[in-house]
Amino acid sequence: MHDFLLKNRDELMARCRVKVGERPGRSATEAQLQNGIPLFLDQLIRTLEIEHSHHPHDSVAVSGPVAGGAALSEVSVTAAQHGKDLLELGLTVDQVVHDYGDLCQAITDLAFERRAPFLVDDFRTLNRCLDNAISDAVTEFSYQRDARFAERHADDANQRLGFFSHELRNLLWTASMAFSAAKAGNLSLSGATGAILERNLQALEKLIARTLDQVKVDSHGAPAPDVFPLAAFIDEICAAAGLSAQGYGCTLRAAPVDADLALCGNREVLIGAVANLIQNAFKFTMQNTEVLLTAYGAGDRILIDVKDHCGGLADGAAERMFAAFSQTGADRSGLGLGLTITRRSVAANQGTVSVEDVPGVGCVFTINLPRYGMPA
């Protein structure tokens, strides 16, 4: 058989390429076509040659043991790499098996056409090599796939925990500021400062409840969105954020909002999104400067702008700052998740977030959401 395979190597590889091309969803790079099945065929030929020599047992080093199982051999190394390559292409485990099946079929078809007689022992060797190669390729494919799944799952879980911690910290910070202000000024909790404290405690309760809902296996989906006035929405954000501005040595000013404008979505999530942009502006704006918040209608959209005086953005920083755990400034007190949370929160409410650089001045973050009219 080894003479037959050696003489017809190119023909067998050509037939395998045709079979690969005809199989739905299967693609291959030139490197794979040179290093996958062709290398296995060469190892099969060498195995057959050794088994017809004076030292037949030496073939185990090339093609692995007869009983299979975990053992280092040239076939195991090549097959494992082949399985890993197929995973890189996004293929399934059955495609791994089919690749070796293509070669077996090509050998059988060509032998039948050429009426080539093979020894029974040669067929046994062929089957052994195929079994070991398929086993090693599938094992490596499955291991790499499971490892990637576990890594993605860990990353997702870590990011979700980071999102929750970030939102929790923001709400606790504002509640703490309100409590400190009330205590220092001996203020009644029934006043404006007490209302800020109450709203943030309620927001904490909603955040925890929402998080618990998301981890329930039998969750029935997200609640229906609410329609709410834009002006009251902005007023609530400014009341809470104004306390934080003092701690950063800057001021927050909100432009008047048209009373007829309304938003539709998850109110608490959108409050958190705008609050994150304002906190980001406080963090990077220069001392004794102003952060300006404007909210207005533009056609069928609502635009919410947060303008700071950070001095402008570095080249390429505009898009990088939205990446999870990205921290572009010298202040590393946060997790680098605020802008990532904002973009995802706004996207969940059919909106977008963008940033415009104003060189030498600062930058303007804009939340773009669908516009709704106030219900009668």
Domains of the chain: 2-153 (1.10.490), 224-373 (3.30.565.10)
Q: Is 218's pLDDT higher than 50?
A: no
Quote the pLDDT of residue 134. Answer: 74
Provide the whole-model pTM: 0.45
The lowest-confidence range among 43-57, 205-219, 361-375 is 205-219
Specify whether the CB–CB gap between 268 and 223 falls below 8 A.
no
Q: What is the pLDDT of residue 353?
A: 92
pLDDT at residue number 95: 64
DSSP letter at 309 equals: -
Report the distance separating Cα 142 and Cα 164, nearest Å: 33
- Kindly report which listed range (159-173, 184-198, 214-228) carries the lowest average pLDDT score: 214-228
- Apex 367 CA angle, 364 and 372, nearest 5: 140
Task: Describe the strand order of the beta sheet including 290-298 as a list of residue ranges.
Answer: 251-254, 290-298, 301-307, 362-370, 352-358
The residue to which tokens 């051999």 are assigned: 73
pLDDT at 144 over 60: yes
Mean pLDDT for the chain overall: 75
Q: How far apart are CA 36 and CA 48, in angstroms?
A: 19
